[in-house]
Structure 1
């Protein structure tokens, strides 16, 4: 019997991109002569498609200025990566992924990043071998639409009863709820524990060790069903 499917978000769940995303938003705002947004505003849009998120961040911008705002955000990230910046993995993220892969879990990614960002992460050592499939906002509707999870289940031969979504935002939680899969939050990313629970998270793990315990319980439950 195949192990369940664990679908992971990237930003705020596996990769600590908090500083770089805030920096890019601030630089894009400065380029337009706008006040720099504080971190609390920026963290709320992480997980949405870039176009949607930037429109939420600055809702009064017209189409031309919104396009410049989006381009400025992308340009800021381009400068960071051209200068050799690499967003760090959270401690124990790689150990957890390797353990799940070793134990036969099916693994996939579902992220608000574009395909270029996904490719950059899949170039990390060992990632391409661990994840069966990856799904991003450029593939179709973004979070909280369930499209990415439907695609992941199809690619990994799984169904909602054997699939769990692991993310750090309410957008991840709502996507899971909309797809009928178990929503599992993590406490170290962009949205608070309370925000994720209010959105429908069944559990919010405080550490990767706790995350592993919850995943083991889900595995045991699906095998017993």
Structure 2
């Protein structure tokens, strides 16, 4: 094992505010099938799940073939929005670019991603923000069971050689917090994302801004070392 620490970020609602693209793509998926579009709160409430699970949760009882079409429609819509909108369509939250720069400059710390996005979606997003080389491990829904299953985090630990006690998961949903707990990692919830603070009860800490997040990371990983 290494003496390095690992900070793993969720993406939607944690690093970037992508709700505009998420809501628009969900409208496209449901509209293409002639189905009523779920309310905003319902859509944002399932952010963090893998896309097939999210759509199935929003449209229970539909035939699998129809659900599969909706997943593909969503993906195509999201990819088109990302191409046309660039970084402005899913902006980084305030203070996050600077925080990533400071964390990335530390020789004792590695950065990773664990997201319900597809590989295609994550690659496009990171490229648009110039972050492709920032993360040494990137775990996506294509390769793992949906959150809160801990497979993504186990894979990130295996790729980096970091022990659970030296790793922290940062996210905005209860799925992130439950995943971190299941993998034996520290969990930091952020209040600026898509799940209310009340749903982040499994977090070791909940923070309200980038400065608070940085302090929590240093405090938790300092305690771990």
The farther-off stretch of 81-90 and 101-110 is 81-90
**Distance 1:194-1:31 versus aligned 2 partners, 3 A rule:** same
* Correspondence for 1:129 among 133, 142, 150: 133
Please give the alpha-carbon distance, in whole angstroms, between the structure 2 residues aligned to 1:18 and 1:92. 18
Q: Choose from 145, 153, 156 the match for 2:157.
A: 153
| Stretch of structure 1 that moved more, 75-84 or 45-54 | 75-84
- 1:201 partnered with 2:203: yes
* Displacement after TM superposition at 1:149 (Å): 0.3
Unpaired runs of 5+ in structure 1? none
Match of 2:171 in 1: 167
Matched residue of 1:164: which SS? strand
Q: Deviations over 1:136-177 (max 9, x none)?
A: 111121211111100101111111111100000111111101
- C-alpha displacement of 1:208: 0.7
The secondary structure found in structure 2 opposite 1:109 is: strand
2:213 pairs with 1:211: yes
TM-score under structure 2 normalisation? 0.93
Question: Equivalent residue of 1:26, what SS?
Answer: helix
Give the aligned CA root-mean-square deviation in angstroms.
1.5
Uncovered stretches (5+) of structure 2, i.e. residues with no partner: none
Q: Which residue of 2 aligns with 1:29?
A: 30
The yes-or-no answer on 1:102 pairing with 2:105 is yes
Report how far residue 128 of structure 1 moved.
2.8
Q: Distance in 2 between matches of 1:126 and 1:70?
A: 27
Ranges of 4+ aligned residues in structure 1 off by more than 6 Å: none
- In structure 1, distance between residues paired with 2:156 and 2:144: 13
Distance 1:47 1:182 in 2: 18
Whether the aligned pair in 2 keeps the contact of 1:5 and 1:158 (CA below 8 Å) is yes
Return 139-148 or 121-130, whichever deviates more.
Answer: 121-130
Decide whether the 8 Å contact of 1:136 with 1:142 is kept in 2. Answer: no
Instruction: Answer whether contact 2:115 2:139 (CA < 8 A) is retained.
Output: yes
Q: Give the SS at the match of 1:5.
A: strand
- Alignment match of 2:142 (pick from 138, 143, 147): 138
1:81 shift after superposition = 2.7
Q: Number of aligned residue pairs: give it.
A: 221
Bigger mean CA deviation after superposition, 210-219 or 70-79: 70-79
